[in-house]
Each structure stands twice: as C-alpha cells, then as structure tokens.
Amino acid sequence: MELLRFFTAGNVDDGKSTLIGRLLFDSNSISTDIIDTLTKQSKAKAENADIDLALLTDGLRAEREQGITIDVAYKYFVTDKRKYIIADTPGHAQYTRNMFTGASNTDLAIILIDARNGITDQTKRHSIISSILGIPHVLICVNKMDLKNYDQAVFESIRKDYLAFAQPLGLKKISFIPVSALTGENVVNKSDNFSWYTDETLFDFLENVEIPQEEANNETRFQVQYVIRPQTQELHDYRGYAGALLSGKIQKGDKVRVFPIDALTTVEKIEKFESEVESAEAGEPIILHLSDDLDISRGSTFVLDNERPETANEIDATICWMDNKPFQKGQKLLFQQNSFRAKAVIKSIEGRIDIHTLDSTEETDEIHLNEFCKVNIKTAELVSFDSYTKNRKTGAFILINENTNNTVAAGVIG
Amino acid sequence: MDYLDQLEAEAIYIMREVAGQFERPALLFSGGKDSICLIHLALKAFRPGKFPFPLVHIDTGHNFQEALDFRDALAEKIGEKLIVRKVEDTIRERKLVDGKGKFPSRNGLQTYTLLDTVEEFEFDACIGGARRDEEKARAKERIFSVRDEFGQWDPKKQRPELWNIYNGKIDKGENVRVFPISNWTELDVWNYIKRENITLPSIYFTHERECILTPQGQLMNTNEFVTIEPEDVVVKRNVRYRTVGDMTCTAAVESTAYTVDDIIKEIKETKISERGATRMDDTLSEAAMEDRKKGGYF
C-alpha cells in the first residue's frame, strides 16, 4: 500500500474544511459517534442545520468559536490502495506560517477556489508558497459550483485565469476539478449536474495521482542523527552512525566523502534493525560503519564521492519569517538542516518578495511575520547542501532564535 | 517503500532526533499497545546499543493487572530501566483529594505525578504514544510539542514544524513531549503489530468478563474501585479492550476477536471510533482533551 501526503489551502470560507469533511464522510471514514457529535454541534448552532462537516477539522475551541481554521489539522483516511495524510491548513494571511508548516512535506497541494470569486489574493499566495516549497503537483478545486449553476464557462474561465497567473511560477504539474463540497458532487461521487465534466472525481484523482519518488532518484545523501556506541564488553569497539538515508542509494563498499571534515572513507557495513544489509535506499533508517576512524558527530553528512554537494558558509536562500517579533539586525540565530546545526546570522536582506505578484523589492533591513525575503545567511560552520529545487531534503532549513528558542523562519536554499 | 515502512521510518527518525537533541529524555510506557509499539520502534532505532532513555510509567493505581505484569515482563526481557511513580504516593504527599463518584477517575491527578516525575529526574523530553487520529485537539498538536515549566500546552504558541526538521531547543525547566507515531491510526498500529508479530497483553483479545452495563450502553469492568449499586445491570460478556487506560474509565467492547487478524477485521468493520467506544473522560465536554492538555496532560 502507498502513502500520499497532501495539504489543502484556500480562502477563508472557500469551504476547505467542508471539502475534507465531505471526502472523509462520503468515503465512510468517519465513525458514527463522531457524526453524532457533529450533528449535535451543528444543531446547537441552528435548529434546522445540516451536519456541518467543517467542525470535523476545527479541533480547537478558538477555531470553533470563530468558525475559522487557525492551525494545521491532520486527518487520515485509508482505501484499499492508499493511506492518506491530510494537512488541513488555515486560509487567513495571519496564519501563513501554519500553512507553510502543513504544506512543507507533502506531495500534492489542493487549492480551493470559490467559483463565485475566481482567483483571489489567497489563491496567489498559496500557489506561490507551493511553488517555493516545490510541491510536485497542484490541484485546483473550483468549489461551490452549485452556486454558479454548474456552469462550464465559469470553470473554464477560472482555469484559463489560473494558468495565466501560474505560468511564471514554474509549478511542475497543475490539474483542475470542479466540485461542490457542500453537496458532495464530484468529491467522491459523480453528479449529473456535471455532465460536461467527464474526468476524475477528486477521490478518483487522489487514488490515481502519481506519487513522486524524488528522493529515490536523487544523489546519495546521508546525515548522522546519533552515534551508537554501546561500549560493552562484547561491543567494545562498536561505533555506528545512525540516521536516515535522505536520498539516493548506498551500498556496502561505496566510497563516501564526509562533511564538514571533507574526508574520504569507505562504507564498511550497513545495518538495519540488527541485521547486516548489502544496500539501502532513500528513506530507510540505517546504521553505517566506516572503515576509518574519523571525527564524525551528529549532523555530519555522507555523500558518494562522485556526487558532491555544495559546501559554503554563506548561503543564498528564500525564507518565510514565522516569528511574531520582526527580524532584528544582528539577531543571533541557529541554522538547522535536518540534524545539522550551526550558529548563523542573516547578513543581508536582498529584497522582500511580494507574495501576490512574485515581485521583489529593494534591499531592506526588516522582515515581519509571514513575509518572504531573499536573504544571505552566514553560518559559523561549513554547511553541505544542495539547492532546494535539486533536493528537498538537503536544501531546506529552519532558523531558530538562540535567545527565545523559537523557530523564527523556514528557508529554501537557492 | 510500503506505507508501514514509511511510518516506521518516520517514527525511528523522530526517536533518534530525541536521542540526538536531548540530555535526559524518557519514554512513557504504560503497557498499552501504542507504547508497546514505541518500544519495538526504539529497539529498531538503537540496538545493538542501549536505549538512550529509561522507560517511565505513571501508575494511577487503577491500571489493569495484565498491563502491569506485561509492562514489567517486557522491561525485564529487553533489559532496559523502568521507573514507576504512583499517583497514590502523589495523593498522599500532596494531600490531594482522590477521584470521587461511581467511576472515580485519576485522570487529572496523574498529571501531578507526571510533572513531579519530570521534575525529579529533570527529564527534558518525554516520548509518548499519542496519535493525532485519536481526538481533534491531538490532531492539532506538533510532533515536538514544547511545554512550559507547568507542563502546559499552548495551542496558539506552537512552534512551526517544517519538513522533518525538529526544533527541540528549550530552556531549563521546560520540556518537550514527543509523539513519534502521531501520523498512525488505530488500524495502522494493528497492521504494524501484525506485520512485526508484536506480543500484547491478553486483555486486547476476547475474554469473558463481568461488567456493569451503563445506561449509555458502555461495558465497565467491575472492580474494587467501582461501587456496584442495586440498580446496576451486571452482565457477563465476551469482551476485549481497544485501549488500555484506567479500569475505572475505560470501557470494554463486545468482541469475538481471538487473534490480531480478527481485531483488524473488527476495526475495519466497526463504525465507532476508538475513544468514542471506550473513553468516559473525553465525552465530558467538547474541549475536554484540549483543556487537559493545556493543564499538562499528555
């Protein structure tokens, strides 16, 4: 069985939570006791109300009170073919950082557009974020088609507008489906009202969409998370580097280069769950043993000698500022890429990106919450990395405020 | 990779991040199926080394004996350190009032013991088996969930958590709750138990048990903590437990499932959620779990 991670985004009131509720409801993924509770809650709001499926994902009291999504909610459903992890992300601009969080490690973006409103600022922002995050596939669900009499012309015009807008974003793949989340039409079940639409329903789309295997086909990258040294009588000299193979493949006998020390050595042994294996592929948790005794610790990166990453202590990146407090010049930061951490400062802000047009402003000194900037970061140690477009695992990082410990920014290199 | 391999890899990655980022972590182990899976995952993450953390159990005094026996036997079998702290001791030392009523709950009280234990051993991270599919407040919680000195969760101040990059940096006195199987569902857990051939306490499988049939239709185990009144309907049924919490607030479900395969079939067919079927404590109010978490609960 396969695993598909996707996120949903859209304008406030575009019916995102309703869509997810509908998807779960019509695919029989909601238990009866939960449906009972939802029905009770819906009735409490208005006597004749139908079940409000949005209540399913708005799990916090503040969200239910305000009727909006503040933070990402994770939902799950399963078919015979796939397990789905859904990140339902907030639409409000003020919760952009939560949207970024939910979207970061997904394979598919579902962006809702209200058929009555067409493309809005939110659509643009969510699309640009999807582009920055390198989401492999964007699906536009044109929702509330019932309120536009299921008019094909409305759908086609939104499709045309979106493709024109998205053209410079470099999104890898874009698809469109017209739906009504409220009535459930084209979500799981087809409807006669959409006689002009012969393509897949949302559910069928999810079942059949290709799940990209980006990491498997990428260059080999391994990072040490933890050094296992039992130091017992029997395992006196045991020294294993535990971590996940971030991308590519690794084989016993491979010549590997270790960063940041820039030393060449050989993979002597690969262990997985207490058995020796000949090779491992992307994503597998393994323990590596090397033929030389080198200065290796948490955060050290191993690569194949003929597949060198970039190494530098100055990095150009696009960051999203996530702290309530604006960036202060000279602020002491920590740069974290997977398990690698180094002290860092933002040396210069080359420009703020207008998240609705992708235009860049002049150099600036300030970054505020939810703003995207092109920056130059200086780190205290040499970082080995790839550009994010080349490798999502080694091109992504977060910045931590050394003083408050908060994650203040997320960034992609290049 | 199969989806179970991916979930397993994610959980192991998270555990190794805990080992790499914290000085004094702990793994909360109750003898229930989720924490038994955590131990299985920790063996895969750290063997042939020792666990970089002790196992910790907060014993409410209302636990099922089968789960406690299983807990002790498993800790001994794998040769890892087990720390047990009892809610009874906390009640005595802090002069607290024990749970009252027909089905007295120590759910609120165990938070005291947990926080005292965190303080006693200066734990900076506690790994737990909570899952996001269990409850709607949990669906909102991060995998690395930072708690303040009072163990409180503030849903409005959650750190952004991007990609698989986990920020466990904290000040002294704070701690992080870590949930490696956040993205697993009840069915995933059982599929994993089946695939990995993991042994569980007997109460997960069908057995005959004397229960009070509550007016809401729940089957509550009869035991020394529950007062049986004349109007109670006491029945004998073939039941099993879907979750193993306190005897006083966890209901049994009628079942004929003898094997893990039977259970998987049963879960696929059932229309009632895991907590809905078994927990009295969550049905108290719409935000019951959110409130308990804000108070330092898991």
Q: Give me the interface pTM, i.e. the ipTM.
A: 0.92
Task: Judge whether A347 and A411 are in contact, CB under 8 Å.
Answer: no
Question: What is the pLDDT of chain A when averaged over all its residues?
Answer: 90
Measured between beta carbons, the chain A residues lying within 8 angstroms of B175 are none
Contact A244 B9 (CB under 8 A): yes
Contact B132 A60 (CB under 8 A): no
Measured between beta carbons, the chain B residues lying within 8 angstroms of A406 are 159
Closest-CA distance of chain A to residue B113, Å: 26
Q: What is the mean pLDDT of residues B82-96?
A: 89
What confidence tier does B275 reach under pLDDT thresholds 50, 70, 90? low
**Quick check: do A2-208 and A221-304 share a fold?**
no
Amino acid A46: pLDDT: 64
Q: In whole angstroms, what is the distance from residue A81 CA to residue A282 CA?
A: 22
Q: What percent of chain A has pLDDT over 70?
A: 91
Name, in order, each residue with C-beta under 8 angstroms of A16's C-beta and a sequence gap of 6 or more.
A8, A9, A10, A69, A88, A91, A112
- Dihedral, CA of residue A51, residue A56, residue A60 and residue A64, to nearest 10: -20
A-B C-beta contacts closer than 8 Å: 163
Nearest-Cα residue of chain A relative to residue B7: A3
Q: In whole angstroms, what is the distance from residue A19 CA to residue A187 CA?
A: 8
Closest by CA position to A228, among listed A214, A210, A240:
A240
Superfamily designation of domain B3-188+287-294: HUPs (3.40.50.620)
For residue A8 the two structure tokens come to 């949903």
What confidence tier does B232 reach under pLDDT thresholds 50, 70, 90? confident
Measured between beta carbons, the chain A residues lying within 8 angstroms of B46 are 226, 228, 242
Instruction: Please tell me whether the peptide bond between A260 and the residue prior to it is cis, using omega within 30 degrees of 0.
Output: yes
Surface of B (37-66) touching A: CB under 8 A: 44-50, 52
Selecting from B135, B169, B272 the residue whose C-beta is nearest the C-beta of A32 gives B272
Strands A340-353 and A372-385: antiparallel
Closest-CA distance of chain B to residue A178, Å: 28
Selecting from B4, B155, B164 the residue whose C-beta is nearest the C-beta of A71 gives B155
What confidence tier does B280 reach under pLDDT thresholds 50, 70, 90? low
Amino acid at A237: D
For residue range B100-140, what is the model confidence (pLDDT) as tens digits? 777 777 777 888 889 999 999 999 999 999 999 887 788 88
Q: In whole angstroms, what is the distance from residue A243 CA to residue A109 CA?
A: 29
For residue range A63-101, what is the model confidence (pLDDT) as tens digits? 666 666 677 888 888 888 999 999 988 877 778 888 888
Superfamily designation of domain A221-304: Translation factors (2.40.30.10)
> For residue A55, is pLDDT > 70?
no
Contact B137 A59 (CB under 8 A): yes
What confidence tier does A252 reach under pLDDT thresholds 50, 70, 90? very high
For residue range A265-314, what is the model confidence (pLDDT) as tens digits? 999 999 999 999 999 999 999 999 999 999 999 999 999 999 999 999 99
Q: Provide φ and ψ at A145, rounded to 5°.
A: -60, -25
Nearest-Cα residue of chain A relative to residue B5: A284
- The reply to whether the predicted model has a pTM over 0.95 is no
CATH classification (class only), A310-413: mainly beta
SS3 of chain B: CCHHHHHHHHHHHHHHHHHHHCCCEEEECCCCHHHHHHHHHHHHHHCCCCCCCCEEEEECCCCCHHHHHHHHHHHHHHCCCEEEEEHHHHHHHCCCCCCCCCCCCCCCHHHHHHHHHHHHHCCCEEECCCCHHHCCCHHHCCCEEEECCCCCCCHHHCCCCCCCCCCCCCCCCCEEEECCCCCCCHHHHHHHHHHHCCCCCHHHCCEEEEEEECCCCCEEECCCCCCCCCCCEEEEEEEECCCCCCCCCEEEEECCCCCHHHHHHHHHHCCCCHHHHHECHHHCCCCHHHHHHHCCCC
What confidence tier does B88 reach under pLDDT thresholds 50, 70, 90? confident
Q: Count of CB atoms within 10 A of residue B211's CB?
A: 20
Amino acid B284: pLDDT: 45
For residue range B164-212, what is the model confidence (pLDDT) as tens digits? 999 999 998 889 999 999 999 999 999 999 999 999 999 999 999 888 8
Closest by CA position to A283, among listed A256, A247, A333:
A247
What's chain A's Rg over C-alpha atoms? 24
* Residue A357 burial (C-beta neighbours within 10 Å; 0-12, 13-18, 19+): exposed
Selecting from B140, B161, B169 the residue whose C-beta is nearest the C-beta of A405 gives B169
Closest by CA position to A12, among listed A75, A41, A54, A48:
A54
Measured between beta carbons, the chain A residues lying within 8 angstroms of B198 are none
Q: In whole angstroms, what is the distance from residue B141 CA to residue B181 CA?
A: 12
Q: What is the mean pLDDT of residues B250-255?
A: 86
- Is some CB atom of chain A closer than 8 A to the CB atom of B149? no
Question: Would you kindly state where each structural domain of chain A is located, as residue ranges?
Answer: 2-208, 221-304, 310-413
CATH classification (class only), A2-208: alpha beta
For residue B120 the two structure tokens come to 């006693």
What confidence tier does B252 reach under pLDDT thresholds 50, 70, 90? confident
Measured between beta carbons, the chain B residues lying within 8 angstroms of A281 are 1
Measured between beta carbons, the chain B residues lying within 8 angstroms of A2 are 3
- Is some CB atom of chain A closer than 8 A to the CB atom of B236? no
Amino acid B139: pLDDT: 84
- Is some CB atom of chain A closer than 8 A to the CB atom of B270? yes
Nearest-Cα residue of chain A relative to residue B4: A1
Say how many residues make up chain B.
298
Phi/psi class of residue A136: alpha, beta or left (left: φ > 0; alpha: ψ in -120 to 50)? alpha
Q: In whole angstroms, what is the distance from residue A237 CA to residue A240 CA?
A: 10
Nearest-Cα residue of chain A relative to residue B166: A338
Question: Would you kindly state where each structural domain of chain B is located, as residue ranges?
Answer: 3-188+287-294, 198-283
Contact B16 A31 (CB under 8 A): no
Nearest-Cα residue of chain A relative to residue B270: A31
Strands B55-59 and B25-28: parallel
Amino acid A388: pLDDT: 96
Q: What percent of chain A has pLDDT over 90?
A: 66
Contact A392 B3 (CB under 8 A): no
Of the segments A39-48, A214-223, B98-107, which one has the largest average pLDDT value?
A214-223
Measured between beta carbons, the chain A residues lying within 8 angstroms of B160 are 97-98, 100-101, 322, 398, 407, 410
